[in-house]
A = this chain, B = another copy of it.
Amino acid sequence: MSVSYAQIQADHPGSFSHACPTRTVLDHVMSRWGVLILSALSDGTLRWGQLCRAVDGISEKMLASTLRTLTADSLVARESFPAVPPHVEYRLTDRGRELMERMLPLLEWIADNAEEITAG
């Protein structure tokens, strides 16, 4: 049996309604930069500078802001190594990896179909 939206709402009454936590998570995870940061980290640990380059076009401000949100949601873990110069690593948590397992098939489909969709 494949999952249906009706089934999800039956299992979670009130899901995706206005004030539901799902809306908050949706906003964080499906945000413009959130998706791309999570995707970049899905290939492994990255440092700040590497992330800045991996996520094409992101500003330092949005990188900092989005990383704070994702870290607060325990989807991304931040590890700081006291050293000069500073060294900070970001990686997915187990929860973040679970999320990306479900996100990547979607991204693959988008990569496969984006050209045709925007050509329309």
**A residues with CB within 8 A of B:** 2-6, 8, 11-12, 15-18, 20-22, 24-27, 29-32, 35-36, 39-40, 42-43, 56-57, 72-75, 95, 98-115, 117-118, 120
Counted per complex, copies of this chain come to 2
If A43-B5, A111-B22 touch, whether A117 touches B95 (CB-CB below 8 Å) is yes
A-B contact pairs, 8 of them (CB 8 A): A4-B43, A16-B39, A16-B56, A17-B56, A18-B56, A20-B114, A30-B31, A74-B120
For A25, the closest partner residue in chain B by CB is: B114
Residues of B within 8 Å of A117, CB to CB, are 21, 25, 73-75, 95
Contact of A103 among B16, B31, B36, B106 (CB under 8 A): B106
Of B16, B36, B98, B114, which is within 8 A of A109 by CB? B98
CB pair A12–B103 under 8 Å, yes or no, is no
